[in-house]
């Protein structure tokens, strides 16, 4: 009985958790938007399409083992991936299957810092980060 009540409480709280996660992601996006405007006052709104292009482009400036995001995340953001250097499994990046994604600003920034350097061979711009998250939020 207690177990059933607890289950009911957890199910009832689920939408709250999802909303809270969205608010945190929105705050991260708002922060990148502000930074993008600081670089270029005429910066456009984030684009899922540009985010997808960023995700699928094969770059030449980074580590050849990770020439594109898909090297670890696979061509399907909803699928689990695998670290191309260590073999470590990676949880899906798509928010629909992994709602925890892009909810902790420190983790998001740390991962962009590392991955952009490895994949693109340079830092990502705030606009690129926002595009990427916008693409993944719709996946």
Partner 1 sequence: MSVRPLTPTFTLLAAVLLLLACPAYAGDDWMPPVRDATVQKECGTCHMTFQPGFLPARSWSRMMGSLSDHFGEDVTLMNDKIEIIRAYLTANAGDVVNQGRAAKYMHWVAPGGTPQRITENPDFLRKHRFPESVWKDPKVVTKSNCLACHSSAERGVFK
CA distance 108 to 68: 18
The answer to whether the beta carbons of residues 118 and 69 sit under 8 Å apart is no
**Nearest residue to 130 (alpha-carbon basis) of 43, 17, 20:** 43
Element (H, E) at 28: helix 2-39
Give 43 or 84: the residue with its C-beta nearer to partner 1: 84
Q: Is residue 136 within 8 Å of residue 94, measured between CB atoms?
A: yes
Nearest approach, Cβ of residue 75 and partner 1 (Å): 16
Q: How far is CA 40 from CA 44, 48, 128, in A?
A: 9, 19, 13
Nearer to partner 1, 33 or 90 (CB): 90
Could you list the residues that contact partner 1 (CB under 8 A)? 82-88, 110, 113-114, 117-118
Q: How far is the CB of 22 from partner 1 (least distance, A)?
A: 23
């Amino acid at each position: 009985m207690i177990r059933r009540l607890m289950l009911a409480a957890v199910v009832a709280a689920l939408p709250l958790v999802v909303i809270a996660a969205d608010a945190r992601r929105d705050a991260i996006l708002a922060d990148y938007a502000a930074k993008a405007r600081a670089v270029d006052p005429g910066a456009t709104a984030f684009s899922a399409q540009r985010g997808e292009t960023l995700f699928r482009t094969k770059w030449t400036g980074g580590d050849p083992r990770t020439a594109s995001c898909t090297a670890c995340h696979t061509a399907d953001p909803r699928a689990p991936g695998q670290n191309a250097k260590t073999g470590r499994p990676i949880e899906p990046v798509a928010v629909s299957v992994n709602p925890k994604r892009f909810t902790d600003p420190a983790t998001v920034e740390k991962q962009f810092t590392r991955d952009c350097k490895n994949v693109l061979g340079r830092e990502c711009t705030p606009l690129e980060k926002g595009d990427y998250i916008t693409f993944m939020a719709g996946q």
